[in-house]
């Protein structure tokens, strides 16, 4: 039996992208499996979703740590204890230090609700509306020390419609995220992504 890439999923809230990954991993043909789910917020709904799916899930409360480094050290230990091969940030609302991102460089991805490099950081949907763009979307990228600036693995575009507000645009983008994230994980798990400098080169051939 071919071994599956072991995922560590980081969350902070509702866990909708986690749910999409759980659904994808339920297919025996999918080349990855979720090894652990970690949240910096004990009240995160995503922890319940993980437990309901029978997955190892725990909270590592950042507020219980004296420093970011202490918090991240415990996060790192949990990921390594679960033998994680790829960290998937899925609505994880903590900016990670350069030390942590270097330790997991090339083995950690994030999904962001804009077409990077446009509109990085917080409230990208509001940024998109303020700029008057006609197309927005989402991006799966490798995590680096620079926020939302790592090599891009995959993107999906959605239209910005007349009358959109931040919530309606965010909801449309979220639907695209739920399809894009599992596709990006599949590409990586299948060995079809390589990083050359600042660019992720993707073999899209089926």
Bridge partners of 108, per DSSP, are: 87
What's the count of helices (H) and strands (E) in the chain, helices before strands? 6, 9
DSSP states of 57-98: EEE--GGGSSSHHHHHHHHHHHHHHTT-SEEEESS---PPPH
141 is known as an active-site residue: no
Task: State whether residue 145 is helix, strand or coil.
Answer: coil
Distance of CA 193 to the CA centre of its chain: 16
Q: Length of the chain in residues, anyone?
A: 206
Q: Between β-strands 32-39 and 57-59, what pairing exists: parallel, antiparallel or unpaired? A: parallel
* Catalytic residue selected from 112, 123, 141, 178: 112
Task: State whether residue 183 is helix, strand or coil.
Answer: helix
Q: 72-97 burial by CB neighbour count: b if 16+ within 10 A, else e?
A: beebbebbeebebbbbbbbbbebebe
Catalytic positions are 112
């Amino acid at each position: 039996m071919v071994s599956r890439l072991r995922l560590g999923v980081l969350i902070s809230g509702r866990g909708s992208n986690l749910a999409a990954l759980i659904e994808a991993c339920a297919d025996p043909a999918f080349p990855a499996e979720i090894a652990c789910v970690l949240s910096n917020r004990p009240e995160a709904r995503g922890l319940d979703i993980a437990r309901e799916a029978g997955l190892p899930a725990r909270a590592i409360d950042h507020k219980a740590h004296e420093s970011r480094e202490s918090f991240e050290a415990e996060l790192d230990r949990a990921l390594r204890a679960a033998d994680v091969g790829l960290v998937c940030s899925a609505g994880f609302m903590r900016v990670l230090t350069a030390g942590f991102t270097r330790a997991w460089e090339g083995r950690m991805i994030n999904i962001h609700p804009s077409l990077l490099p446009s509109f990085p950081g917080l409230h990208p949907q509001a940024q998109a509306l303020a700029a008057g763009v006609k197309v927005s979307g989402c991006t799966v990228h490798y995590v680096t020390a620079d926020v939302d600036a790592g090599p891009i693995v995959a993107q999906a575009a959605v239209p910005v419609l007349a009358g959109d507000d931040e919530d309606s645009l965010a909801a449309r983008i979220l639907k695209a995220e739920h399809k894009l994230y599992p596709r990006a994980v599949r590409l990586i798990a299948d060995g079809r992504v390589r990083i050359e400098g600042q660019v992720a080169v993707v073999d899209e051939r089926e």
